[in-house]
Chains A and B, each alone.
Chain A
């Protein structure tokens, strides 16, 4: 029984992630549309897009190689594995011992890297441009991510995500400390950069010269494109979910019971929907920054992460 629920939680996390990701994107577009005075295409539209793309004919551009073919599946796979590891619904799963935050961060980077290689593999100017920019941004995000990990791991004494989350559930004061808040801010900026959102990248741009993520995937069509889009949407959901798990952990199942799992799923949906709405609303107010202003943004988030580390060390009485 114990194992059944545990595995159910893992499968549930992956299913919620995969099924919910397009809905989250649809929801965010809907929020944005309403703020812009439009009617919007409905929350289900990304699922319709995916369905249609899966029905379309797969295309292999001549001159591309295995990296181009494998990247979409790898992108989705890394997100699925990371999604199975982090405690989105439950902290007590059979895999929770493996859920190391550094591993999760590295898995997400692996997906980025696969897509960048695919962009270079096409040999088009836009593919290379997207890959180059994406890797630049990704390499600058890395210090922020790892320092945030560092800051979060100090009070918990471990980098194990379920341990951090359950620790936070039991002593909520940790979250309201300066260290916690600074780490949230730093991680939030890093998440924006990792998921190619405004102000780092504009997900709905049509101008190739301003693209980062889109430029890498210009050659994908049909089912491959469906996987790429799904992968990107799942990544957004995963990272927003991780953010909510780390900083609003209440409701995540810590024990093993079916009810708590269902409650956790509902609360997860609510939390991510709220975060998504906030993000979508913020995107209406912000503009994309110039590519060479992005380092400033990331340097700022790095500073916040560093302050989080020092604050958690000095203020919370490690001495």
Chain B
């Protein structure tokens, strides 16, 4: 009964949807038609971006209302959210993950490290930015990026 009362008193926590983000819907994402399955790949991040991604899917930002959902297998996914500079050990797994996704597929680089290796540029264990390993369709800058930015990027893919 406690939970029921909590549900009643809390009500809706999702913030009102911000206006649709600027910029075109990704051309390759048009076929997706408002449904995007997301697979996260941590290619060597400090886990700051992971926390923000988790926040983007929480009840407050609720990325799910725009049609994005996280899935357990890259076979089910349309979008790979890649975070962190790609370390040497994660380069091959990242390639395999993207290859396992069926066409049409997109890769979204989340965070400064994913875009240009950020703080870790030139590190001995770093292979390079995500774009050096797999073709990147969208980038979300920030260290770490705010959940709004991640949600906005996902909305440019779902088109909703």
A contact residues vs B (CB 8 Å cutoff)? 33-42, 45, 48-49, 51-52, 55-59, 205-208, 211, 214, 218-222, 225, 284-285
In the bound complex, CA of A145 to CA of B33 (Å): 40
A225 and B76 within 8 A (CB): yes
A225 and B11 within 8 A (CB): no
Contacts of B116 in A (CB 8 A): none
A48 and B64 within 8 A (CB): no
A35 and B102 within 8 A (CB): no
| Interface assignment of B10: CB less than 8 Å from any CB of chain A | yes
In the bound complex, CA of A283 to CA of B32 (Å): 29
Partner of B73, one of A42, A219, A285: A219
Q: Beyond A48-B34, A219-B73, is A37–B103 a contact (Cβ under 8 Å)? A: no
| Interface assignment of B71: CB less than 8 Å from any CB of chain A | yes
B72 and A222 within 8 A (CB): no
Q: Beyond A36-B59, A37-B12, A37-B59, is A56–B104 a contact (Cβ under 8 Å)? A: yes
- Can you list 17 residue pairs at the A/B interface with Cβ under 8 Å? A33-B64, A35-B7, A38-B13, A38-B59, A39-B14, A39-B65, A40-B65, A41-B67, A45-B67, A51-B33, A51-B35, A52-B33, A52-B35, A57-B103, A59-B102, A225-B75, A284-B7
A38 and B33 within 8 A (CB): no
Report, as a range, how many residues of chain B touch the other chain.
20 to 34
Give B83-110 as 1s and 0s: 1 = Cβ < 8 Å from A's Cβ atoms: 0000000000000000001111000000
Partner of A221, one of B10, B17, B75: B75
The closest CB in chain B to the CB of A285 belongs to B3
For the complex formed, measure the closest distance between the CB of A275 and the CB atoms of chain B, giving whole angstroms. 19
Partner of B64, one of A41, A58, A205, A208: A41
In the bound complex, CA of A206 to CA of B65 (Å): 19
A39 and B62 within 8 A (CB): yes
Contacts of A214 in B (CB 8 A): 72
Contacts of B7 in A (CB 8 A): 35, 37, 284
For the complex formed, measure the closest distance between the CB of B103 and the CB atoms of chain A, giving whole angstroms. 5
The closest CB in chain B to the CB of A58 belongs to B102
Q: Beyond A57-B103, A59-B102, A285-B3, is A206–B70 a contact (Cβ under 8 Å)? A: yes
